[in-house]
């Protein structure tokens, strides 16, 4: 869709996590279509904070739809209560459409999905797991710069997915008809181990980036000692001890069903990051 085309959402869209990996991409895409956007973040005006529901009403005023991301992860204890409270508040404010970014292979996240699905509002769910952008905008960026991706990942293959693909689906679901009641489970086009990722990043950057497996306990201890927030440490512990067990080691057609095209490959992503000056030592 181009900015000159008619959109299916004329009112304002609240984008929670609007400065995050997918959120800022959703904001940019909706604005390019001429859709009014309100960024939901603690630094925005009005501010949105998952831990302070007193500010939610101001964020939801005159809003028609919402893109829901929960930081750091829907598997966190308390996430279902927060999602339920937000959905109830959204209904009171007359929202008609919700798009939820959910976790692939996470039973706790699927419990949050059911809250959205049973809300009585139009809904779309996008399920995703490991993003390409974790290596350029997230927790693993410094490892790439150091040339050593040190993680307790083993040889479990994952279908890493591009945050741009996730955002494009959310943008479509928030601005076009035809996506209500759909669960899009998204993956990239191929299964890759973390060692495979290191090889692709080495090729793209022209320097050696190796994958080094470390014991899970030592990794978690190092994350704590680095000063990482408690919830981030919890999430990393959960992802590597629970989700990275092979449960997601298969490809899906979510991107193709939602967008009518193939998902982006990690090699293309890495080349684009390098072209934009990323991973410069």
Q: What is the pLDDT of residues 95-147, one digit of tens each?
A: 999 999 999 999 999 999 999 999 999 999 999 999 999 999 988 999 999 99
Q: Are 130 and 161 in contact (CB under 8 A)?
A: yes
Q: Are 188 and 269 in contact (CB under 8 A)?
A: no
**What's the chain's Rg over C-alpha atoms?**
19
- pLDDT score recorded for residue 138: 86
Structure tokens at 160: 């890493």
Q: Are 60 and 67 in contact (CB under 8 A)?
A: no
| Number of neighbouring beta carbons within 10 Å of residue 24 | 18
**What are the backbone dihedrals phi and psi of residue 182, each rounded to the nearest 5 degrees, phi first?**
-105, 140
CA 217 – CA 219 distance, rounded (Å): 5
CA 24 – CA 47 distance, rounded (Å): 16
Instruction: For each of the domains in the chain, give its residue range(s) and CATH number, in order of start.
Output: 12-129+162-188+250-267 (3.40.50.720)
pLDDT in tens, 50-83: 999 999 999 999 999 999 999 889 999 999 999 9
Q: DSSP letter string over 104-128?
A: TT-HHHHHHHHHHHTSSSEEEEEEE
């Amino acid at each position: 869709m181009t900015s000159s085309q008619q959109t299916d959402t004329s009112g304002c869209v609240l984008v929670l996590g609007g400065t995050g990996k997918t959120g800022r991409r959703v904001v940019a895409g909706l604005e390019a279509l001429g859709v009014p956007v309100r960024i939901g973040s603690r630094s925005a005006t009005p501010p949105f904070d998952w831990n302070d529901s007193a500010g939610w009403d101001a964020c939801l005023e005159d809003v028609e739809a919402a893109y829901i991301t929960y930081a750091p992860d829907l598997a966190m204890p308390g996430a279902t209560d927060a999602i339920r409270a937000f959905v109830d508040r959204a209904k009171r404010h007359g929202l008609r459409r919700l798009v939820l970014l959910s976790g692939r292979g996470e039973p706790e996240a699927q419990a949050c999905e059911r809250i959205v699905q049973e809300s009585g509002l139009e809904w779309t769910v996008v399920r995703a797991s490991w993003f390409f952008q974790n290596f350029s905008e997230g927790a693993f960026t410094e490892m790439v710069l150091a040339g050593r991706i040190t993680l307790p990942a083993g040889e479990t293959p994952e279908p890493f997915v591009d945050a741009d693909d996730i955002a494009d689906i959310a943008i479509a679901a928030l601005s076009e008809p035809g996506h209500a009641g759909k669960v899009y489970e998204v993956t990239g086009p191929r299964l890759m181990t973390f060692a495979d990722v290191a090889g692709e990043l080495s090729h793209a950057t022209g320097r050696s980036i190796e994958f080094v497996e470390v014991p899970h306990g030592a990794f978690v201890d190092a994350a704590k000692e680095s000063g990482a927030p408690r919830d981030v440490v919890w999430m990393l512990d959960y992802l590597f001890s629970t989700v990275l067990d092979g449960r997601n080691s298969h490809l899906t057609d979510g991107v193709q069903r939602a967008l009518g095209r193939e998902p982006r490959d990690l090699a293309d992503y890495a080349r684009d990051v390098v072209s934009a000056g990323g991973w410069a030592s």
